[in-house]
Amino acid sequence: MPALSTLHFEMLLRGAVVGLLLFHLAQLALPGARPAARLALAGFAASVLAYVFCQQAETLLYLPRAVAYVLLALCVATTAWLWLAARSLFEDGFQFGVLEVGALLGLGLVSIPVGNFMPDKDRAQNAIEWTFATLMLGYYAFTWRA
């Protein structure tokens, strides 16, 4: 039996993660309680799924440009979806509002030009991720008693 190379092992792990995320998305598509929470969790799972594909730059080159941009926008918005998923799970009566939808759309639209034209795009992406992670942690630190 041939030994698994590093590439084979990495592809095996990526396939397992994609399978689990697709299973999770299928479960979230079933009818159930709290549709806003289910939608936020589905958005987070889809963004993590996009992140798996964005890590292999070669795959983005073979996709149509519009699909690659959607994957990149979802990949950048992972922490924003995590922020919404956490809010939807811990807030009673959470509904998507103008602020949440606007933040996700704005982040997705801004991420493509920032990534293409900014010489130090990793810093911009890290700043976006840290902003939403700080928002999520700060929100729960200040509303812990409620």
Span 68-90, pLDDT tens digits: 888 888 887 888 888 888 888 88
> Rounded to whole angstroms, how far apart are CA atoms 127 and 134?
10
Assessment of whether the complete model's pTM goes beyond 0.85: no
Q: Quick check: 66 pLDDT over 80?
A: yes
